[in-house]
Amino acid sequence: MRVTQGTFSYLPDLSDDEIRAQVQYGLDNGWAPSIEFTDDPHPRNVYWQLWGMPMFGLEDPAGVVYEVKRCREALPNCYIRVSLYDPTLTRQTTALQFIVHRPADEPGFGLERQDAADRTIRYTLHPYAADQPHGERYRGA
């Protein structure tokens, strides 16, 4: 089961040229790119760890692609995404975000059902990877 978070998550993985094109689009709009990674891609985990610092003032997308490659080499068993931050006063938010690397093995999520009072039914997502401690969740297939 593929983790589907951010823009393009239902499409095949982006090539480096496609990543470069999306970053160029963001730079053309004045957005600042950053690279983030995690081994816990739960939908409620929005705070991934930064790979370096956000790249304010960057003009060439090659710098982002280079850092994505370095991050992939250092963290092959993590999810890696590129975020483009819109720093304009009226927005100051993430304008574009997409996954650029996934572990070889994605164990997926389970849906847990809880029956409560008055026929209330609640569902919780359980990531199978979370059964392992941080750093050991994605060892590859």
Per residue in 26-37, pLDDT (tens digit) is 999 999 999 999
SS3 33: strand
- pLDDT above 70: residue 104: yes
Q: Report pLDDT for 141.
A: 40
SS3 63: helix
What's the mean pLDDT in 92-113?
Answer: 83
Instruction: Report pLDDT digits (tens) over 39-75.
Output: 877 777 788 999 999 999 899 999 999 999 999 999 9
Tell me the whole-structure pTM to 2 decimals.
0.76
- Go through the domains of the chain in sequence order and give each one's CATH number: 16-104 (3.30.190.10)
Place 101 in a pLDDT band, splitting at 50, 70 and 90. very high
> Do 45 and 38 contact (CB within 8 A), yes or no?
yes
Q: Report pLDDT for 70.
A: 97
- State the residue for tokens 């059964």: 131
Chain-wide mean pLDDT for the chain?
85
CB atoms within 10 A of CB 92: 9
